[in-house]
């Protein structure tokens, strides 16, 4: 996964920048359903942010239905219902 462009001068908090960046990649299909995201530690190190920031961003994306957490395995891009389909 290519690094997101995070800007410390942006008025939005880093958590929101991560959420927006990953949402955009999922919506544009740059990240496909079932794709595994880097570990929280790896993502934090690659983007030079705290692990807490990454945890908060990933948790928001899970709540929004963009990511799915698998205990002991990590975070994966969730399968999203297409327009007109009922969510499973």
Q: Where are the domains of the chain?
A: 14-77
Enter the CATH code of domain 14-77: 1.10.10.10
- Concatenated DSSP letters of 5-73: ---TTSSS-HHHHHHHHHHHHHHTTSS-TTPBPPPHHHHHHHHT--HHHHHHHHHHHHHTTSEEEETTT
pLDDT tens digits, one per residue of 19-61 = 999 999 999 999 999 999 999 999 999 999 999 999 999 999 9
pTM above 0.85, yes or no: yes
**Of 54 and 81, more confident:** 54
Residues 1-16, mean pLDDT to the nearest whole number: 89
Average pLDDT, the chain: 90
pLDDT at residue 87, rounded to an integer: 46
């Amino acid at each position: 996964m290519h690094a997101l462009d995070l800007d410390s001068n942006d008025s939005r908090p880093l958590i929101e920048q991560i959420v927006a960046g990953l949402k955009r990649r999922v919506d544009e299909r740059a990240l496909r359903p079932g794709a595994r995201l880097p570990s929280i530690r790896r993502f934090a190190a690659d983007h030079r942010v705290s692990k807490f920031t990454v945890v908060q961003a990933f948790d928001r994306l899970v709540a929004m239905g963009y990511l799915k957490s698998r205990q002991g395995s990590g975070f994966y891009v969730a399968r999203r219902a297409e327009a007109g389909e009922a969510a499973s």
